[in-house]
C-alpha cells in the first residue's frame, strides 16, 4: 500500500536548504538593485549562475558582432588612405595581415570551445577575449599614428572612439571589464598625444576631452544596459520561484483533497477513483479483485464513554494497523466515513483476502484499547466484510462494494469481531 500511495500521490516536495539560500540571495540582490547605485555584483552563487546561464547567448552574440566589427575595422582603410597616406601600406599590413588573422583565430577558437563554456571554461574568459581584441585594435591605431608624419594624422585619434564604442556598446562588456578596457584604450590615446612631436597643441585638450567624453558616455550606457539585464534576470528568477511555490501549493492542495485529515489515509473520493481504475484494468485482463470493509465495533459508545479526542486517537491507531497489515504493491486503504474503513486489493482471491482481513482484525484486537462499554469485548474490536470476484463485463465496481457491505453486515449480525467473506 505504501508504494501505491507514493505512486498515486507524490509527497509534498520540501524546499531544500540550498533552495532557501538561493531565494535569500535573490531577495538580497533585488534589494541591492533597487538602490540608486549598484556595484553590479550578485552574491557569489547567484553571480556564477547568472554568468553561466548567459554564457551561450553572449558567445553567439560575440561571434556575430565580432565578424561584423572586423569588416568595419578593415573598412577604415579608406580613412587611412585619406588621413595617413604616407603609411597606407603599413596600415594595410597592420589591419589585414596582422590584426585580421589574429581576430579570426580568436573567433574560430571561441566557436570551437563554445560548448565548453561554462563547464570547463569560465564565462569571464569571453570578457577578457573581447578586452584583448579591443585593446589590440586600439594599439594598431596607435602604432600607425606613431609612424605617420602626415599633417592630418593628429585627427587620427578619433578612430579610438570607435574602438571604445566597439567594446562598451557593440560587444557590451560587463561594466567593470568595460571600465578597465576604456582606461587602457584611453591610455593609448594619452601616450599617442604626448609622444607625437608635431601634434597641434591647441588640439590636445579638445581631443583628450572628446575621447574622455566618449569613455564616460559609453560607460554610462554600459552600466545602464547591464543593470537592466541583471534586473530582468532577477525578475525571471522571482517569477520562476513564484511559479514553483504555486505549483507546490497546488500539489499540496490536490493531495489534501484526496486525504482524510484525521487519519492521513486516502478519503472516500480518492478510493472510488482508484477502484474505478483498478476495476478497468482487472476487467481488461480478467483478474481478481477484493475489497475489505471494516467497521469499529460499538464506536459510538466508545466516544460517549471516553470522549471524542480519545475516539480520534482510536481511529488513528486503527488506521495505522490497516496500513501495517496491507502493504502489497497496489493495495490501497481509505477512510470510508466515520469509523468505517475500506481497502481494495488487486489480484487477490478469496483466500488471500480472507487472510489479509484476519491479520487486520487480529492487529486491531491486539492494540488493547480499553472499551468497557462494548458488548463484544473489553477492548476495541472490528467487524470485517470481504468481497471478491473476477472482474467481468456484467459486473461493476459498485457491485463489489455492495457485496463487501453485505459481508460486513453479516459479520455484525454474527456477533462482531469477526470476518465474513462473500464471493460474487
pLDDT in tens, 339-355: 999 999 999 999 999 99
Query: Which pLDDT band holds residue 7 (cuts at 50, 70, 90)?
Result: very low
> For 55-66, how does the pLDDT look when each residue is reduced to its tens digit (9 = 90+)?
999 999 999 999
The pLDDT, as a whole number, for residue 32 is 67
Give the phi and the psi of residue 370 in degrees, each rounded to 5.
-60, 135
**Is residue 192 within 8 Å of 157, Cβ to Cβ?**
yes
Residue 46 pLDDT > 50: yes
How far is residue 96's CA from residue 55's CA, in Å, rounded to a whole number?
Answer: 30
Task: Bin 101: left if φ > 0, else alpha if -120 < ψ < 50, else beta.
Answer: alpha
Q: What percent of the chain has pLDDT over 70?
A: 92
Name the most confidently modeled range: 145-159, 192-206, 323-337. 323-337
Please give the DSSP secondary-structure letter assigned to residue 93: I
**Is residue 379 within 8 Å of 314, Cβ to Cβ?**
no
Q: List residues with catalytic annotation.
A: 339
- The crossing angle, in degrees rounded to 10, of helices 158-165 and 175-195 is 170
**Is residue 388 within 8 Å of 345, Cβ to Cβ?**
no
- The three cell numbers of residue 49 are 549562475
Residue 182 pLDDT > 60: yes
Average pLDDT, the chain: 88
Beta bridge partners of 334: 266, 342
Residue 230 pLDDT > 70: yes
Amino acid at each position: 500500500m505504501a508504494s501505491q500511495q507514493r505512486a498515486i500521490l507524490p509527497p509534498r516536495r520540501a524546499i531544500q536548504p540550498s533552495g532557501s539560500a538561493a531565494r535569500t540571495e535573490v531577495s538580497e540582490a533585488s534589494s541591492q538593485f533597487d538602490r540608486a547605485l549598484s556595484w553590479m555584483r550578485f552574491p557569489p552563487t547567484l553571480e556564477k549562475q547568472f554568468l553561466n546561464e548567459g554564457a551561450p547567448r553572449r558567445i553567439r552574440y560575440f561571434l556575430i558582432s565580432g565578424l561584423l566589427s572586423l569588416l568595419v575595422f578593415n573598412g577604415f582603410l579608406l580613412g587611412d588612405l585619406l588621413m595617413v597616406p604616407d603609411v597606407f601600406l603599413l596600415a594595410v599590413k597592420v589591419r589585414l595581415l596582422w590584426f585580421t588573422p589574429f581576430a579570426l583565430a580568436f573567433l574560430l577558437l571561441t566557436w570551437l570551445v563554445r560548448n565548453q563554456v561554462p563547464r570547463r571554461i569560465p564565462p569571464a574568459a569571453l570578457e577578457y577575449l573581447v578586452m584583448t581584441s579591443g585593446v589590440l585594435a586600439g594599439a594598431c591605431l596607435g602604432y600607425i599614428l606613431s609612424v605617420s608624419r602626415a599633417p592630418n594624422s593628429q585627427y587620427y585619434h578619433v578612430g579610438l572612439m570607435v574602438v571604445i564604442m566597439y567594446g562598451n556598446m557593440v560587444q557590451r562588456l560587463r561594466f567593470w571589464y568595460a571600465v578597465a578596457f576604456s582606461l587602457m584604450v584611453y591610455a593609448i590615446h594619452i601616450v599617442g598625444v604626448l609622444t607625437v612631436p608635431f601634434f597641434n597643441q591647441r588640439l590636445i585638450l579638445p581631443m583628450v576631452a572628446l575621447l574622455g567624453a566618449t569613455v564616460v558616455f559609453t560607460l554610462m550606457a554600459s552600466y545602464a544596459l547591464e543593470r537592466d539585464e541583471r534586473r530582468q534576470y532577477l525578475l525571471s528568477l522571482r517569477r520562476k520561484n513564484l511559479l514553483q511555490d504555486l505549483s507546490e501549493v497546488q500539489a499540496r492542495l490536490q493531495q489534501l483533497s484526496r486525504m482524510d485529515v484525521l487519519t492521513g489515509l486516502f478519503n472516500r473520493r480518492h478510493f472510488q477513483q482508484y477502484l474505478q481504475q483498478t476495476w478497468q484494468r482487472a476487467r481488461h485482463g480478467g483478474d481478481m479483485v477484493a475489497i475489505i470493509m471494516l467497521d469499529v465495533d460499538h464506536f459510538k459508545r466508545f466516544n460517549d464513554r471516553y470522549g471524542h479526542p480519545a475516539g480520534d486517537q482510536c481511529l488513528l491507531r486503527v488506521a495505522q494497523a490497516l496500513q501495517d497489515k496491507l502493504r502489497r504493491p497496489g493495495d490501497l486503504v481509505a477512510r470510508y466515513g466515520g469509523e468505517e474503513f475500506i481497502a481494495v486489493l488487486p489480484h487477490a482471491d478469496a483466500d488471500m483476502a480472507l487472510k489479509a482481513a484476519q491479520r487486520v482484525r487480529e492487529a486491531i484486537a491486539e492494540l488493547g484499547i480499553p472499551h468497557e462499554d462494548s458488548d463484544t469485548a473489553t477492548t476495541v474490536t472490528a467487524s470485517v466484510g470481504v468481497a471478491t470476484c473476477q472482474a467481468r463485463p456484467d459486473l461493476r465496481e459498485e457491485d463489489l462494494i455492495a457485496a463487501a457491505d453485505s459481508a460486513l453486515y453479516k459479520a455484525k449480525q454474527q456477533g462482531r469481531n469477526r470476518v465474513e467473506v462473500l464471493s460474487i
